[in-house]
Amino acid sequence: MRNIFKYGKIYGNNEPIFDEGDIFKTFISIPSGQIKATKKATSTVKANLSDANEEYKKVVNDAVNDAVNDAVNDAVIQRLKTELMDIIINKGMSLSQLMANHTIKRATVQRDMKLLKDAELITFVGAPKTGKYMISNKLSQIIKQ
> Does the residue 23 lie in any domain?
yes
> Does the residue 92 lie in any domain?
yes
pLDDT for residue 79? 86
- The verdict on 36 and 79 lying in the same domain is no
Q: Is the pLDDT of residue 22 over 80?
A: no
- The verdict on 103 and 140 lying in the same domain is yes
Residue-number span of the structural domain to which 33 is assigned: 2-8+16-51
- The verdict on 118 and 82 lying in the same domain is yes
Q: Is the pLDDT of residue 133 over 80?
A: yes
d(CA 35, CA 14): 16
> Which ranges of 25-145 would DSSP assign to H, the alpha helix?
32-51, 54-89, 95-102, 106-118, 137-144
Residue 93 neighbours by CB under 8 Å, 6+ apart? 86, 87, 101, 132, 133
- The verdict on 44 and 80 lying in the same domain is no
- The verdict on 85 and 130 lying in the same domain is yes
- The verdict on 83 and 116 lying in the same domain is yes
Number of domain units in the chain: 2
- The verdict on 35 and 80 lying in the same domain is no
Interval 65-110: pLDDT, tens: 665 566 567 788 888 888 988 898 899 999 999 999 999 999 999 9
Q: Cβ distance 112 to 80 under 8 Å?
A: yes
We report the CATH number of the domain holding residue 119 as 1.10.10.10
- The verdict on 38 and 88 lying in the same domain is no
> Does the residue 130 lie in any domain?
yes
d(CA 13, CA 37): 18
Q: Is the pLDDT of residue 132 over 90?
A: yes
- The verdict on 86 and 29 lying in the same domain is no
Which region holds residue 115: left if phi is over 0, alpha if psi is between -120 and 50, else beta? alpha
> Does the residue 57 lie in any domain?
no
